[in-house]
Structure 1
Amino acid sequence: MKFFIDTANVSEIREMAWLIDGVTTNPSLVAREKRPFEQVIAEICDIVDGPVSAEATALDVEGMIEQGKKLSQIHENVVIKIPMTEEGMKAVIGLSKAGIRTNVTLVFSPNQALVAAKCGASFVSPFVGRIDDVGGDGMELVSQILDIYDEYAFETEVIVASVRHPQHVLD
């Protein structure tokens, strides 16, 4: 098991650096830091010796690929966060072919996780808390994804996102 922290606050990351294996961010979290996006991501990469997800904000394939290529040049630890959409999956294919790692976010079903892995995603982020919020079982989704990846020998890793309580970690 690996621990990722979802923040762009450098002080929080420094405080938890002894424990965490990676960082996930999003544009809102980075904006709270009131510094240039690239500067924040670079500083995080200097602290954490592991994957640092930086989100592409474009909505079209070409824009996501362009942003992904630019962001990946910040540091070798940068992973491009891409939404689970048709356009996003096409961008994942393009970025994977360019040797750029991706984290597919907003995953809510086993089928979505399968498509993301098939497209070459390095990571998927199922939103377990949001699934639980609407009466589902987020950790059951994680179990299903892991079974699929094991069955078909995908190398895509799972980052459990939207963790709401300790039970999500214990399950």
Structure 2
Amino acid sequence: MEFFLDTANLDEIRKAQAQGLMDGVTTNPTLLSREGGDWRRQAQTICNEVDGPVSLEVVGTTAEEMVREAEDLATFGDNVVIKVPITSEGLIATKALYKKGVKTNVTLVFSPLQALLAAKAGATYVSPFVGRLDGISIDGMELISQIRTIFDNYEFPAKILVASIRNPLHVLDSALIGADVATIPFSVISDLAKHPLTDKGLEQFNADWEKLTK
């Protein structure tokens, strides 16, 4: 499973890259706004520094607006993936961008039927939001399982990109189900290697080493 970092913060991107844990980046207007300054310069810098895919989101509401914005964003680099919402207009834009050879990430997916429509429209990635479903007492991981079954049934090339990840268990469940990608906040990706028994073991090894060197 690939790990994308869900951020627009360059320090987080550089740390994750140094750890070898990052295969790409997903951004959105909210994440870019948190960084302040010129969003275009920030997005361009991210595209320059990241080897893998970088998702940049359109904000238009009509297919024409989305396609126009997507063509602009695509100039930031060959690794740009356009985030498009799962709306009727978004599906039209996704199909148009597919025909132009522009990669897309259809976002804000909350049902298996939405995922099916996105795949049929030619999406490169489909992003179901598990954390937001969990927040309203719906099992987000069941959605991932349903999408995996549908995509496998019909051999859709679209990749399942699990989004709105809130904890390491979401990452584990996504991997067990067979999701292609998980886009993970830096705080969660930093927790993946942690375990209390690892800390305890290191503490014991260090204490024993101190005895040996006295």
Q: TM-score, normalised by structure 1?
A: 0.97
Residue equivalent to 2:187: none
Match of residue 133, structure 1, among 135, 155, 158: 135
Residue equivalent to 2:53: 51
The structural deviation recorded for 1:143 is: 1.1
SS at match of 1:100: coil
Residue equivalent to 2:179: none
Structure index of larger Rg: 2
Contact 1:55/1:82 (8 A) holds in 2: yes
AA of the residue aligned to 2:145: S
Contact 1:38/1:71 (8 A) holds in 2: no
AA of the residue aligned to 1:85: T
Task: Give the 5 Å matches for 1:25-40.
Answer: 25-40=27-42
Contact 1:82/1:105 (8 A) holds in 2: yes
Q: TM-score, normalised by structure 2?
A: 0.78
The structural deviation recorded for 1:7 is: 0.7
Aligned length: 171
Task: Give the 5 Å matches for 1:18-29.
Answer: 18-29=20-31
RMSD: 0.9
Task: Give the 5 Å matches for 1:15-94.
Answer: 15-17=15-17, 18-94=20-96
Residue equivalent to 1:163: 165
Residue equivalent to 2:188: none
Higher helix share: 2
Structure 2 unaligned spans of 5+: 174-214
Residue equivalent to 1:99: 101
Q: Runs in 1 of length 4+ with deviation above 6 angstroms?
A: none
Identity of aligned residues (%): 54
Match of residue 126, structure 2, among 119, 124, 127: 124
